Amino acid sequence: MASVEKVPMLQEGYEKLSTQLSALKAERPLIVDAIEEARAHGDLSENAEYHAAKERQGQVEASIGDLEDRLSRAQIIDPTTLSGDRIVFGATVTLADEDDKPVRYQIVGQAEADAKDGRISYNSPLGRALIGRRIDDEIEVTVPAGDKYYVVTKIEFL
Dihedral over alpha carbons 11, 12, 14, 20 (to 10 degrees): 160
Q: Give how far Cα 106 sits from Cα of 43, 87, 118, Å.
A: 54, 10, 6
pLDDT of residue 1: 45
Mean pLDDT for the chain overall: 91
What is the tens place of the pLDDT at every residue in 16-65?
A: 999 999 999 999 999 999 999 888 887 777 788 889 999 999 999 999 99
pLDDT of residue 3: 52
Cα(60)–Cα(55) distance, rounded to whole angstroms?
A: 9
Distance between first and last Cα of the chain: 36
pLDDT of residue 47: 82
Q: Give how far Cα 122 sits from Cα of 14, 49, 78, 104, Å.
A: 16, 41, 15, 14
Helices 48-72 and 11-39: angle between axes, nearest 10 degrees: 160
Q: What share of the chain is helix, strand, coil (3-state, %, to 5)?
A: 40, 25, 35
- In terms of pTM, does the model score above 0.85? no
- 3-state secondary structure (DSSP) of residue 2: coil
**151 and 136 Cβ atoms separated by less than 8 Å:** yes
Cα(143)–Cα(151) distance, rounded to whole angstroms?
A: 16
Of residues 23 and 98, which shows the higher confidence score? 23
